Amino acid sequence: MRRTPRPDGTVRLPPDERRWSLLTAHAEVLLCIARDPDTRVREIAATVGISERGAHQIVADLVDAGYVRRARVGRRNRYAIESKTNLKHAPVRHRRVASIVALLEPEPARAASRTRRVPRTRLPAAEAVITKPSKRRAA
């Protein structure tokens, strides 16, 4: 990876090596918590690609905003999404946290049904005829 040093000492990646995401780190942390409420902050940080300190701060932001609830269970934290909480930003205030999580979660049932589709085989016309049992009574 080639980096270009700046006059102020910081390093800038070349344009073709810059990575960006449509989702913010806060949204990605929210999805990690939604997938596994028992996840550790260290696992969240590794999944999202941020530092543990950054993950701690984002979890604290989500708890302070009311999107996530944190409960201590033994020596660990268990998180829960506050699904009925409305989003705080003006254009999406009518949306709840649950609708955003549902929108961004994968849909395993639909994906599985598309990949497992078995082609139907047609029976020859002679085998396709179904005969009904006779209503005659034995004498």
Tell me the pLDDT tens digit for each residue of 30-79: 999 999 999 999 999 999 999 999 999 999 999 999 999 999 999 999 99
Instruction: For residue 97, tell me if it sits in a domain.
Output: yes
Q: What residues contact 106, with CB distance under 8 A and at least 6 apart?
A: none
CATH number at residue 96: 1.10.10.10
Instruction: For residue 134, tell me if it sits in a domain.
Output: no
Q: Give pLDDT tens digits for 94-121.
A: 888 888 888 888 766 655 555 555 555 5
Instruction: For residue 98, tell me if it sits in a domain.
Output: yes
Residues 11-20: contacts with CB under 8 Å, at least 24 apart:
none
Q: What is the DSSP letter of 67?
A: S
By residue range, what is the domain housing residue 47?
A: 23-107
Instruction: For residue 126, tell me if it sits in a domain.
Output: no
Number of domains in the chain: 1
SS3 113: helix
**How far is Cα 96 from Cα 82, in angstroms, rounded to an integer?**
9
Instruction: For residue 131, tell me if it sits in a domain.
Output: no
